[in-house]
Chain A
């Protein structure tokens, strides 16, 4: 029987995602910035962490920077 596959506490995921978002928010091209956040998270976060973040946004979590919320909506849930 598999236990819950949560890996990192959501508060820390939000903190990490916002730190990433703060960097990419300085891009003058906002679309490029959103894509930058999405790419960064999908290339460096374990899929379970990404799923947590997606679920957070879907459940109405509101502590994310706008750029991060927008990027999260672009993240595709991992097949796993």
Chain B
């Protein structure tokens, strides 16, 4: 079912600039050329009855309810499939049309349960609505004929129910799975009376290819496909637009509520990033916000081996502040720092870095981009002048050649992947560079022209090989490169990649990718039209991450693929607000807007605003903080919404760092892995509980709107303000919009941003300033941000992480659709149904060599540590490479990853670890220790909650 607050215009909006003018029921109306007659009628306020039409899908013309009369045309054409033409005279209500429509409804209702009063769609059902609209009074067929009323309900999916007895075979669900999502999990089995919607091969939804995106549920006009939450809680009454808190696509949603209880999230049709679509996480997996694991009271303890004590906010904040001050007095100003969240709002991360720079007086602030896209920041700043992607998502619809390297969009950015698939199905070509056969390589109606299945750690060699072909075969866009880029650097780069060592044959020896594939892929990218590169952590999380990013920018500059739609360099930022966190200066070396702390002019600006001297020297990055902690010079850490103990590499090293510190303050929703080492726990607030903004991978700033009160009584930004005040640096903001106003005053790329403008425009892509008052969808149109583009020589340097006899395989890592990163949110929702445990994917040859069968428990050992996982035999990876995910802490994936990192930014080399895999019977030593430690920490938490509960409960009365 659609959102309660949407108007369905019947068929998709057309974007043609040409218009047509016609008359509907005597009312003149003008619409874009290509629009349907139905659309024309609906936009002028005339409601044409319809059942199989909905504006997210192309017209189908099956229900015959929307029939109209058109002067000069015979018969009764369906208005959904009839294009509007200039001069048409249309009538939507005549006696004959009324008869026809009643007859159609009669047929539908003759085979439909008559339980409207107890049906979950009561009050919000298009069948009900249309029966009323056409004036149905009787069903002359009676109800004793053959029917589908005893078809069995399918409740296999935890989030929605499929009741085939209520299905009217309009095919909207099938078309949604095809046109919107691109998975094609649904089809119509049988014909005529035998027609039945079939997930997979007439299987329950959970066993089919369904990815639970909910597009079919949204499209269904009846109760046939309904959210389980609506069945239980009833129809929602009010609707608030907000933004998803999962990935960097930044889907816009309507949170639909009864009172302050969220009934469901429906994608916003007008969402600028998602256009009315979503994935299983954003749409359905919001239950973590009300999960019992949520910690709602502040807690403190002296040592991490002590029991927690629930205390008041004032006491917890006061204790944290006094500890930070004590530590600074004993160990120096630089002995404390903070890590800000890439999941909190822009306003919230801004005040954390402000706290560090004012109250702590240092630059020890870093964010999770350190471990994911910091090479993007460095690489694109160096080549183009700005630390961000260059296009909107919509730009993909004008691409002719799409080159995906080190990214898995159908899992990591599903809604954008659906859009990319729509373009691919229109005929755009696809090149995929990935050690694994990701789903995108071959998926319904799509096959990559080239899958460059390279060995982990060889990205730069491959990119230089592609560049070699483009340069030596004369496929460069010299006009563009000479006009728009530094000429000296361009010539040097051309000479560099033209060297024999980057010939495809030589590169084949390094990467394992056949020379001919390298040649063909290079030629395709350079000459196939608009070429767009999309990349992710498979590029950045390497010892040459920054180098690879620059190599990508070099390719795009050399082929003129900048400055318009359909092209560009597109980093797929992972978290909902990692772009924002970076934009806000959550870096030890940069203030907001990526301005270096050594710039006296920039520091003066902040000093004026904040009344404090800003430290001019770079502070500690997260890996430096760990080393300094072990060394004894870093003792206090304020961690907002980040779980370094699970997500950072070399877990045992992180654990050692955490146990070396004296005061760890964790602000989060749950007792995460880092909190098990903490001394102060400040309960956080979810995205449903605060106002603010997130910035997605398109630099698009969107509103997050509060729909319920913060469960712990404070929103995250208020917690940071309280801490700053207790540290002696009060910050006065009455509302997050005031924080954004300050950001705008201090940050040139945000100059024009305000909540008022966000409400007016819906979203704003920075830079938003006097030059671009409504924001900037496509960057570098006339010039690059740094003026001329900068070609950078990108020599391939093999990673130090080499396979040895002891560790003969390479482990690489990634994500899946249903779980999100460390799983803190998704593990606490029904998404666990799709992925109950992380597994190790291993190629059949490697498995056979080791006597491993599918499902066997195996040990994965590296020089950093050992863990164990169930094995899954898979031909998606190549021999010599194994793969896993990191969604469950007990998987210990990061026990195995090492300290190797990108040379420029220290982004960890998660994607290349030399390992050995062998069958094993018991969990690893780390896992056993982890299990015991976790159990103990949970006991310590329960003790606090029990004591707190007792303190709050009057003697003799019942508990909470």
> Could you tell me which A residues sit within 8 Å of B by CB distance?
1-9, 12, 16, 19-20, 22-23, 26-28, 40, 42-49, 78, 80
Q: Are B627 and A7 closer than 8 Å at their CB atoms?
A: yes
B57 within 8 Å of A (CB atoms): no
Interface-facing stretch out of B316-324, B396-404, B616-624, B947-955: B616-624
What are 19 pairs between A and B in contact, CB < 8 Å?
A3-B330, A3-B332, A4-B632, A5-B334, A6-B631, A7-B624, A7-B634, A8-B628, A9-B627, A19-B543, A20-B904, A26-B794, A27-B793, A44-B589, A44-B618, A44-B904, A47-B617, A49-B624, A78-B617
Q: Given B543, B547, B631, B904, which contacts A40 in the complex, CB threshold below 8 Å? A: B904
A45 to B589: give the CA distance in the assembly, Å: 8
Q: Are B628 and A7 closer than 8 Å at their CB atoms?
A: yes
A44 to B903: give the CA distance in the assembly, Å: 11
Closest CB in chain A relative to B630 CB, distance in Å: 9
Closest CB in chain B relative to A18 CB, distance in Å: 9
Known: A43-B596, A48-B334. A23 touches B903 (CB 8 A): yes
Q: Are B633 and A46 closer than 8 Å at their CB atoms?
A: no
Q: Are A26 and B589 closer than 8 Å at their CB atoms?
A: no
A6 to B797: give the CA distance in the assembly, Å: 30
Q: Are A8 and B631 closer than 8 Å at their CB atoms?
A: yes
Q: In chain B, residues 487-530, which have Cβ atoms closer than 8 Å to a Cβ of chain A?
A: 492, 496
A42 to B575: give the CA distance in the assembly, Å: 30
A49 to B576: give the CA distance in the assembly, Å: 33
A28 to B496: give the CA distance in the assembly, Å: 10
A44 to B618: give the CA distance in the assembly, Å: 6
**B620 contacts across to A, CB distance below 8 A:** 7, 46
Q: Are A45 and B618 closer than 8 Å at their CB atoms?
A: yes
* Contacts across chains A and B counted by CB atoms under 8 Å: 79
Q: Are B631 and A7 closer than 8 Å at their CB atoms?
A: yes
CB nearest to B597 among chain A residues: A43
**A48 contacts across to B, CB distance below 8 A:** 334, 633
> In the complex, how many residues of chain B place their beta carbon closer than 8 angstroms to a beta carbon of chain A?
33
Q: Are B331 and A2 closer than 8 Å at their CB atoms?
A: yes
Q: Given B547, B631, B794, which contacts A9 in the complex, CB threshold below 8 Å? A: B631
Q: Are B903 and A43 closer than 8 Å at their CB atoms?
A: no
Q: Are A23 and B904 closer than 8 Å at their CB atoms?
A: yes
Q: Are A80 and B632 closer than 8 Å at their CB atoms?
A: no
Q: Are A26 and B617 closer than 8 Å at their CB atoms?
A: no
CB nearest to A80 among chain B residues: B617
A1 to B793: give the CA distance in the assembly, Å: 48
Closest CB in chain A relative to B622 CB, distance in Å: 12
Interface of B (DSSP majority class): loop
B906 within 8 Å of A (CB atoms): yes
A40 to B547: give the CA distance in the assembly, Å: 14
Q: Rank and list the top 5 A-B pairs by shortest CB-CB distance, nearest first.
A: A19-B903, A26-B795, A7-B628, A8-B627, A47-B617
A9 to B621: give the CA distance in the assembly, Å: 15
**A45 contacts across to B, CB distance below 8 A:** 618
Known: A2-B331, A3-B331, A6-B633. A28 touches B903 (CB 8 A): no
A59 to B595: give the CA distance in the assembly, Å: 35
Q: Given A2, A12, A43, which contacts B618 in the complex, CB threshold below 8 Å? A: A43
Q: Are A2 and B619 closer than 8 Å at their CB atoms?
A: no
B598 within 8 Å of A (CB atoms): yes
Q: Are A26 and B793 closer than 8 Å at their CB atoms?
A: yes
**A78 contacts across to B, CB distance below 8 A:** 617
CB nearest to B629 among chain A residues: A7
CB nearest to B634 among chain A residues: A7
CB nearest to A6 among chain B residues: B631
**B797 contacts across to A, CB distance below 8 A:** 22-23
CB nearest to B626 among chain A residues: A8
CB nearest to A21 among chain B residues: B903
Closest CB in chain A relative to B654 CB, distance in Å: 15
Closest CB in chain B relative to A3 CB, distance in Å: 6
Q: Given B596, B618, B906, which contacts A46 in the complex, CB threshold below 8 Å? A: B618
Most buried by A among B334, B492, B496, B618: B618
Closest CB in chain A relative to B753 CB, distance in Å: 27
Q: In chain B, residues 306-348, which have Cβ atoms closer than 8 Å to a Cβ of chain A?
A: 330-332, 334
B588 within 8 Å of A (CB atoms): yes
Q: Are B331 and A46 closer than 8 Å at their CB atoms?
A: no
Q: Are A23 and B618 closer than 8 Å at their CB atoms?
A: no
Q: Are B795 and A43 closer than 8 Å at their CB atoms?
A: no
CB nearest to B333 among chain A residues: A80
A23 to B693: give the CA distance in the assembly, Å: 38
**B899 contacts across to A, CB distance below 8 A:** 12
CB nearest to A20 among chain B residues: B903
Closest CB in chain A relative to B587 CB, distance in Å: 9
**A9 contacts across to B, CB distance below 8 A:** 627, 631
A27 to B794: give the CA distance in the assembly, Å: 9
Q: Are B632 and A46 closer than 8 Å at their CB atoms?
A: no
Closest CB in chain B relative to A50 CB, distance in Å: 9
Q: Are B618 and A3 closer than 8 Å at their CB atoms?
A: no
**B598 contacts across to A, CB distance below 8 A:** 42-43
**A22 contacts across to B, CB distance below 8 A:** 795, 797, 903
Question: Known contacts A6-B633, A20-B904; can you find 17 more A-B pairs with CB under 8 A?
Answer: A1-B330, A3-B330, A3-B331, A3-B332, A5-B633, A7-B620, A7-B628, A7-B633, A7-B634, A8-B628, A26-B496, A43-B618, A44-B905, A46-B617, A46-B618, A46-B619, A46-B624
